[in-house]
Amino acid sequence: MRKSISVSFFSTAAFLLIMGIAVMGFSEMYLVGRYFAEDKYATLDTVLDVASRAVAVLDEEDRLTELTGEQGARLSESMDLISDTADAELLFLAPDGTVQLRTGGLAAQQAVMPPAVLEQVDAQSEGAYHALSRLDGFLSERHYVAGRVLYGTGGRKLGYLFICASGAGFGAFLSNMFSNFLLSASLMLLCATILTMLLTQRLTAPLHKISEAAKKFGGGDFSTRVDVAGDDEVGQLAQTFNTMAANLEAIDNSRAQFMGNIAHELRTPMTTIKGFIDGILDGTIPPELQNHYLQIVSQETGRLARLVQNMLDITKLESGEYQVNARLYNIWDTLTGAALSAEQRITEGKIEIEGLENAEKTLVYADPDLIHQVVYNLLDNAIKFTPEGGTIRFSAVALGPEVEIAIWNSGQGIAPEALPFVFERFYKEDQSRGLNARGSGLGLHICKVLVNLSGGQIRAESQQGEWCRFVFTLPAELPNKKNLLRISDETTGPQTGPIPL
């Protein structure tokens, strides 16, 4: 059977409280009993001293043999007076344990003290013999007893003297004290129970809210939030839950948007392909135009393949599956290689390339394959949006422990309101860069992921209607130097003055 937190907390608190009360009760009874006994024995020792001196006087006067008759009666009266004053009974025994004299309130069961008791009294070389007992059945009930061996002149053993006080009073005292303690403990338990229940309710109420919110959250309601205030641990848990819920809601929205974008990007070329193929099959497109439209189908098929490959690359990169193989190499090899691979498109667009002719060796510490993909995507993006007769300019400048690489192109540029979004998935700002509507909107996002994975940063700069520039940094040395110059990922708007190359 599952136990709730409130039940477990209450059970634990009740157990600890009861155990604490029990320990406190037994400790108090033990200490009170010990104090009572020590106080009683101190009183009995005082009476014992007085009675011992009386016996010693009789011994000095050689009158211990006169314990019968009138002398015995007078001694008995003196002993009774001492007994009444001290609320204790006196018992005088001969050396062999025979009762010689006792006060009237003492009820003895035997005429001779058991030898075992006498042996214990003899063993007390210093001080008095103390006990709370019936003296091996000599007394009818338990008494506090103080006893001593009496010696006369010349070390002669006179006998034994015992002072006995009834233990019934202490029993009544303990009973009364226990009753009062039990009543106080019951009231304390009742108050503690009420306070514990209130405290438990206060502690578990926020947890119940979090549990209910978690159930709704598990059912797919990512808008659920926990309304719990406070800076304690439960409040911090609620804040953490709300933060997690907000993040997951954002991820879910991003996923839904991502799937919608994928569906849209896949539907457009597939609709084109299906339309042209259906036109060829049903004869709508004449035979002399079929090759032209098949070329368009081939281009759209390639677009689909690139889109799928880009999505696979993003998934692989963001899941951490790609192993970065970084090394020191000349970044100009990558820039030159990317320009040569796009030579045909550059020539067809009559685009002028600058910055490659006087390149000096500039080392970066990165994975050549990853950086080639970054440069290829940025160059492809520049070619698409550079007008015929325009210019593309490369630069690579060492800035301390980092190298700043830039690809600049003339053209329409990017609108200021679009700059913050150019690195997002599937974002295409065709109106501001309306020379070319091709592309999946994933290329720049892949660039950002690859540059960050290489330990660098990337940003976009633009002067709308004139130029656009993408800048990213890479480490120029091993990344454990801890003094890398970081540039912001945030894109910047129009700038005045010359563009640094």
Percent of the chain residues past pLDDT 90, beyond the cut:
14
327-481: in CATH 3.30.565.10: yes
Residue pLDDT, tens place only, 32-76: 878 888 888 888 888 888 878 777 776 666 555 555 555 556 666
pLDDT-wise least confident of 250-259, 271-280, 430-439: 430-439
Contact status, residue 363 vs residue 397, Cβ threshold 8 Å: no
pLDDT at 472: 96
pLDDT at 495: 39
Residue pLDDT, tens place only, 195-220: 877 877 777 777 777 778 888 877 77
pLDDT at 450: 87
pLDDT at 496: 33
Q: Which of 119-133, 171-185, 323-337 has the highest mean pLDDT?
A: 323-337
pLDDT at 492: 44
pLDDT at 488: 44
pLDDT over 70 at 179, yes or no:
yes
Q: Token pair 């709300």 is at which residue? A: 242
pTM (2 d.p.):
0.46
pLDDT over 50 at 498, yes or no:
no
pLDDT-wise least confident of 182-186, 188-192, 424-428, 447-451: 424-428
Residue 499 — very low, low, confident or very high, per pLDDT cuts 50/70/90?
Answer: very low
Contact status, residue 121 vs residue 48, Cβ threshold 8 Å: no
90, β-bridge pairs: 163
233-318: in CATH 1.10.287.130: yes
Tell me what the pLDDT averaged over the chain comes to.
Answer: 79
Contacts of 441 (CB under 8 A, 6+ apart): 261, 265, 425, 426, 427, 428
pLDDT at 391: 95
Number of residues that this document lists for the chain: 501
Spatial distance between the Cα atoms of 192 and 196, rounded to a whole number of angstroms: 6
pLDDT-wise least confident of 98-107, 152-161, 470-479: 98-107
pLDDT at 330: 94
Percent of the chain residues past pLDDT 70, beyond the cut:
81
Contact status, residue 378 vs residue 419, Cβ threshold 8 Å: no
Number of neighbours of residue 159 by Cβ within 10 angstroms: 21
Higher pLDDT, 320 or 127: 127
Token pair listed for 203: 């502690």
- Which letter does DSSP use for residue 489 in this model? S
Higher pLDDT, 220 or 473: 473
Number of neighbours of residue 379 by Cβ within 10 angstroms: 23
pLDDT at 35: 82
Residue 491 — very low, low, confident or very high, per pLDDT cuts 50/70/90?
Answer: very low
Record: fold of 5-172: Beta-Lactamase (3.30.450)
Residue 475 — very low, low, confident or very high, per pLDDT cuts 50/70/90?
Answer: very high
Token pair listed for 101: 């004299």
What residue ranges do the domains of the chain occupy? 5-172, 233-318, 327-481
pLDDT over 60 at 436, yes or no:
no
Spatial distance between the Cα atoms of 307 and 210, rounded to a whole number of angstroms: 42
What is the average pLDDT across 219-240?
A: 76
Higher pLDDT, 400 or 501: 400
What is the average pLDDT across 430-451?
A: 63
pLDDT at 484: 43
Residue pLDDT, tens place only, 317-359: 666 666 778 899 999 999 998 898 888 889 988 999 999 987 8
Contact status, residue 365 vs residue 477, Cβ threshold 8 Å: yes
pLDDT at 265: 63
What is the average pLDDT across 298-313?
A: 76
Residue pLDDT, tens place only, 380-402: 889 989 999 999 999 999 998 99
pLDDT at 479: 65
Spatial distance between the Cα atoms of 460 and 417, rounded to a whole number of angstroms: 12
Higher pLDDT, 81 or 46: 46
Residue 459 — very low, low, confident or very high, per pLDDT cuts 50/70/90?
Answer: very high
Q: What are the backbone angles phi and psi of residue 156, rounded to the nearest 5°?
A: -75, 135
Token pair listed for 379: 């160059």
Residue 419 — very low, low, confident or very high, per pLDDT cuts 50/70/90?
Answer: confident
392, β-bridge pairs: 353, 409
pLDDT-wise least confident of 62-71, 111-120, 218-227: 62-71
pLDDT over 60 at 23, yes or no:
yes
